[in-house]
Structure 1
C-alpha cells in the first residue's frame, strides 16, 4: 500500500484466548494490531514476553508463520505464557477473564528494543500491560524513545491506574477511545459529559493531543485532526463476532495515517473498512490477504460527515 515501508512497534500482551468450546486463538490487543498492520504491508515489531513452556513455543511458531518478527518477544523462565478465558455474550461481545502473574507482566526494558523504537514510525500501546510495575516501567521508557505514540486506551477493569493513564496521555500524539472509555476518562478528570465534540476538545486541551479517534460500534467513528472533526458511519455487515474489531480498526487507521499525503477520508475509510471486514469474520486474526480486504473496501466506500469544530 506504500512506496516506503512503514515501521510500527506494538507493546504489550501476547496470549492465547481460550474459549469455552476448547478452541484457542492467538490474541492480545497490541498483538492483534500488529497482525493487521502486517496484513496492510506495515513492518510490525512486537515487544512482549511469553513463558518458556509449550504454550509459548506454540505461540511463537504461529507468530513466525504469520511472518511477524519475534525479535522483540522475550522468553521468561519464571512466568508462564498468558491464557485468557474468553466468552461471548448474547450480543456477540467478548468477555475476558485475565489471569495475572504471566510473562507479559514482566517485560524488560532491553537496550535493543529502546533503540528499535527510536527508529520506528510509531509505538502502539494500551493500559493492560502496564498493570504490573515491571512492564509499566518498560513502557514509560519506550514512550520517551518513540517519535509518535499511539495510545489505545482499552480499559479492562480492574487492570488500570488513573494516574498512569493521565501520565501516558501527556505523552500521546494519537489517542483512541470507545464511547464508554471517553466518558470514563472524563469522570477521572472531574468533567461532566456534554457531548462528543465538547469531550474531545476538553481532552485535547488538557493533554495537548492533536489527534483523537472515538469508535462507536454500529454508530461508526469520530476522527479529530487539527481543526476538523469527521463523523464516519459504519459499514453494514453481518456480525460474526466482535473480538479484535477495535484492534483491526486501529491497524487500518495507522497503516493509512502513516502514509505520506493521506487524507482524513482515506485514513478513516481504511479504518472503518478493515474493522467491518474483520467483524464479519470469525476471530480477531482471521486468515486473509490484502487483496481480499481491498476488494471488500472498494465495494464498501465510506463517506464522512464533516462537523463543526
Structure 2
C-alpha cells in the first residue's frame, strides 16, 4: 500500500532577509517551515503574497526551483515584495527590522484556498502575518476551514496584539513557543511564572489546546500533550547562525507528528535533530538532502531526560 503524502499549508510572510554583508536569502518564518517540510517529504503549500517587481519574480523563481508550489502565492500590483534587515548579535542570535506595508500584509481571501485547506493535514501560521487587517481576516477564515491548526507564536515586537493572539490560541490544536514567548504570554494573561510545565498546563487549560511545544535553544525542547510530558536535550553543535532554527525545529516536529503511529521519541528526535542540523549551517534555508539530514540524525541520537524541577 502506498502511504498518503502528508500535506501542510503554511500561511504568512515570504520575503528576502538582507544581511549586513550584502547577501540576501529567501525567508519568513512560515516559509522556512514550508521549505523544511518539503525537504522532509511533506507536500508544502504556501499561502502568501509578493510584489509585482523584480524581487518578487526572483523569489517566486527560487521557490519553484525548490519544488514548492507557488499556486497559493499572490502577486500584488499595489505593494512591494518584503525585505527584512537581519543582523546577528554577539551570540549569533538573529535580530530583524521588519518594514510594514508590504505584499504579505495584504493576502486576500480566496475561496480556492479554503477548499485547499480542507484537504490539508494541517495549517501553520504565526502572529506576525496578522498585523494588518487584510491578511488577518484571511487567516481567520482559513483557521475555521482547517481541522489541525499549528500556531507558531513567533512574537515580533512591536507587532504584538494580545487580543488577536488570544483569539488565535482559542482556534489552535498545537502551539509552539520559545521560552521568552512563553513568559510573555503568561504576563499578558496575568499569570505568574512557576515553571515550564505549570505554565504550559495553564495555557492548555485556558485555551483548550491539546499540544504545546517549547523550544529552549541550548536547553533543548519540551513537548506537552494531554497525558504526557516529554523533555529532550539539544544536540551539541558549532552554531553557524540561529536564523530559522526554530522554524526547522517545528518542521521536523510536524513532519513526524503527522505520520501515522509515530512515537513521541521519533517526533521529538526528528525535531531536535533538524533544529541542530540547520543551526550548524549558514542561513534559514541551506541546501541539503533528506539523506544528509538522516545521516546527521543517525549519528546524533537523542533521548528524553528528566526535568530538573
TM bracket (short chain): over 0.9
Q: Residue by residue, what CA displacement relative to the aligned partner does 1:123-150 show, whole Å, maximum 9, x if unpaired?
A: 0000011000000000000000001000
Q: d(CA) in 2 for partners of 1:196 and 1:65?
A: 41
Q: d(CA) in 1 for partners of 2:308 and 2:202?
A: 15
Displacement, 1:225? 1.4
Partner of 2:64: 64
Q: Residue by residue, what CA displacement relative to the aligned partner does 1:177-229 show, whole Å, maximum 9, x if unpaired?
A: 00000000000000000111110110000000010000000000000112111
RMSD between aligned residues: 1.2
Partner of 1:182: 182
Partner of 2:195: 195
For residues 26-65 of structure 1, the aligned pairs below 5 Å read: 26-65=26-65
For residues 130-209 of structure 1, the aligned pairs below 5 Å read: 130-209=130-209
Displacement, 1:308? 11
Runs of 4+ in 1 over 4 A off after TM superposition: 306-309
Alpha-carbon contact 1:124-1:151 (below 8 Å) kept: yes
Q: Residue by residue, what CA displacement relative to the aligned partner does 1:221-255 show, whole Å, maximum 9, x if unpaired?
A: 00011211111000000000000000000000000
Secondary structure at the residue paired with 2:118?
Answer: helix
Q: d(CA) in 2 for partners of 1:17 and 1:104?
A: 14
Q: d(CA) in 1 for partners of 2:197 and 2:274?
A: 25
Q: d(CA) in 2 for partners of 1:102 and 1:117?
A: 24
Q: Residue by residue, what CA displacement relative to the aligned partner does 1:15-35 show, whole Å, maximum 9, x if unpaired?
A: 000011110000000000000
Partner of 2:4: 4
Q: d(CA) in 2 for partners of 1:164 and 1:251?
A: 24
Counterpart check, 1:223 vs 2:223 = yes
Give TM-score scaled by structure 1 length. Answer: 0.98
Displacement, 1:110? 0.4
Partner of 1:282: 282
List alignment gaps of at least 5 residues for structure 2. Answer: none
Aligned length: 308
List alignment gaps of at least 5 residues for structure 1. Answer: none
Partner of 1:110: 110
Q: d(CA) in 1 for partners of 2:97 and 2:306?
A: 39
Q: Residue by residue, what CA displacement relative to the aligned partner does 1:25-51 show, whole Å, maximum 9, x if unpaired?
A: 000000000000000000000000000
